[in-house]
A and B are shown apart, each in its own frame.
Chain A
Amino acid sequence: MEQRFAQAVERSVELAVFGGEVGRRQFIQRVGAATASAALASVFPLGAAKALAQDKPGPIEKKDLKLGFIPITCATPIIMAEPMGFYRKHGLNAQVVKASGWAMIRDLSINKETDATHMLTPMPLAISLGVGSQAVPYVMPAVENINGQAITLATKHKGVKSAKDMKGFKFAVPFDYSMHNFLLRYVLAEDGLDPDKDVQIRVVPPPEMVANLRAGNLDGYLGPDPFNQRAVFEEVGFIWMLSKDIWPGHPCCAFATTREFAEKTPNTYQALVRAIVEATQYAHNQANRKEIAKAIAPKNFLNQPVEVVEQVLTGTFPDGLGNTKTVPDRIDFDPFPYHSMGVWILTQMKRWGYLKGDVDYKKIAAEVYAAAGTRETMKALGYKAPGENSVKHTFALGKTKVFDPDRAEDYVKSFPIRKA
């Protein structure tokens, strides 16, 4: 593993220097791998980068860890870090444990049966606020995937052109406090449907979505992958819209833990964040996606056909309408937890009545989304990290194209369809 990691560092440096896979391959082809490596070392302190990335934090307080996950591709970095050795590399003996749904993930984590966990990006905010849960302060040091969701409709709805045609549909989302729920509501409302009146939105654990779609219980869902692609594979549904066409680069899943865990075992927490950041960066690299698909598809993890996982991770996939699409950023991985992402989520919680009264959007987001710490970790590992904790986000769909986190309350008020 040590060696594999060293290779990964070398490789990412090479990629950065040569500006991509093709340039790198050409260079190596011409001069041979050893020469290439030596030539690189002369312009970039490879040894230092490797040492820095391997630089261990203080003694680890708790080695044996249990990490909860839901079997979806959003959890890719958390899952793959076990079989591919990222946790071990940082001195942790972490085991990922499959949970049956998001309520179970929440309870396992609050009850300390898991040490840290895969979550949906809105969950640490909601739990910290005690919304839909007992109030327990959480920290979210890393976003797992960006993009990576889709609206899947049952095959009989092939004719649907816009959300206007979806009146009366029965939809599923994985959890109330999910980007899936907020993005689905956003899309419907932009086309004039009131998600609380004109359609039915139910909570169904992701793994059960395909079976329900097949049974005719659902007209569609805004779900995580591989369950969108699995519906295509089973010939029961088609991918109507990728979530990246709503908000390119939106956050989806997260890695989170209780504030208590982070404070009581700071070195363990640091090591975990390092392992996760590293795994996320590894997953970000398109060249590694096939290898990752193979590592996470088995029964112990996703329990899905490798083919389906590969279609999701590589972004070359059949859409269920007879087309093969190539969308490399269908799912991507980027750990940086922008406060502004949290602010957007809070505006939607306010908009749909999950939060009542005045909300100090920025303060809550800054307390839960540990952007500064993640920046330090990213830098220490030799990755580029964004300089700002909060940025404006640009949407692909909707009347308000640019979301300004400094004007959150105005943003909420700007929507004609809302509860608050």
Chain B
Amino acid sequence: MGRERLRIPLYTLLVGIVLLGLWQGLVGGAPAGKGLPGPLAVARTASEMLSHPFYDNGPNDKGIGLQLLASLGRLLTGYLAASVVAIVMGVVLGLSPSLYRAVNPYIQVLKPISPLAWMPLFLYTIKDSSAAAMLVIFMSSLWPTLANTAFGVASIRRDYLNVAALLQLSWPRRLVRVVLPAAAPAIVAGLRISIGSAWVAIVAAEMLIGGTGIGYFVWNEWNNLALTSVIFAILAIGVIGVLLDAGLGRLSRRLAYTE
């Protein structure tokens, strides 16, 4: 077991080294400034950017830390709002199978729409670009949570609800004591998928609206064909995505139960 524990990180490290080597090998031939930049050039850019992550040269030029914070702020606002709505709707639909069947066709039609497709409509109607971006996040993180919550609530064992009825628990107490805890693992699984898709959507949304955020940062660096910065931003986006997912993963382990 001890050996196993050592071997796996070692493999991870090896894969990393092989990937970096391949990358360097692929771009090695090109002269500096032409073609795809190699890992060394990206590392230089990264250390430069990470040494001043919070500089602020006005609205169009901010450090990578500020850009990430702007994106995370937008993400959390849209995501939290979507989660509340999705859980409430999910519980209602999960408890009432006939309502669920009645509404389901609409959910199925709305679900596969790319959240970005809503952007022009939001911009036109609510007339505020950052609110529109948050609504895009809202749309992207609504459906997985909604579907999972409804499914989780619908598949709670009848026995639990029967016992709750027998004990004559009031509805709010039934909800808090029985329904939500029983459906919690499914809900958190939905939340986990949602935050992933929200993080995917935010980058694209910010590339469209400009202003601040990591998506805008990528777009702005792309304009200048500054690929080292673009690659560094891609890596940063990946790392943040992993952290967000890991946070919810921890939550889901805590809420898991065995029947």
Contacts and interface: CB of A to CB of B under 8 A. Distances in A.
Q: Do A and B come from one complex?
A: yes
Interface of A: 71, 95-101, 103-104, 107-108, 110-113, 134, 207-208, 210-211, 230, 234, 298-301, 303-305
A300 B61 contact: yes
Interface residues of B, number: 24
Interface of B: 57-61, 120, 123-124, 127-129, 207-211, 216, 219-225
B60 A299 contact: yes
A211 B129 CA distance: 26
A95 B216 CA distance: 18
A100 B210 contact: yes
A111 B129 contact: yes
B222 A208 contact: yes
A303 B224 contact: yes
Contacts of A100: 207-210, 216, 219
B223 A111 contact: no
Contacts of A98: 59-60, 210-211, 220
A298 B61 contact: yes
A105 B120 CA distance: 13
A305 B33 CA distance: 13
Contacts of A96: 59-60
B5 to A, nearest CB: 45
Nearest to A134: B124
Interface SS, B side: helix
A67 to B, nearest CB: 11
Contact of B210 (A95, A104, A301, A303): A104
29 contacts: A95-B59, A96-B59, A96-B60, A98-B211, A100-B207, A100-B208, A100-B209, A100-B210, A100-B216, A104-B129, A107-B123, A107-B124, A108-B129, A110-B127, A111-B127, A111-B128, A112-B127, A113-B129, A230-B225, A234-B225, A299-B57, A299-B61, A299-B224, A300-B61, A301-B60, A303-B223, A303-B224, A304-B223, A305-B224
Given A98-B60, A298-B61, A211 B222 contact: yes
Given A97-B60, A104-B209, A111-B128, A299 B123 contact: no
Contacts of B207: 100
A299 B220 contact: yes
Contacts of B223: 71, 207-208, 303-304
Contacts of B224: 299, 303-305
Contacts of A104: 129, 208-210
A234 B224 CA distance: 11
Nearest to A100: B210
A303 B58 contact: no
B49 to A, nearest CB: 12
A112 B223 CA distance: 26
A16 B59 CA distance: 38
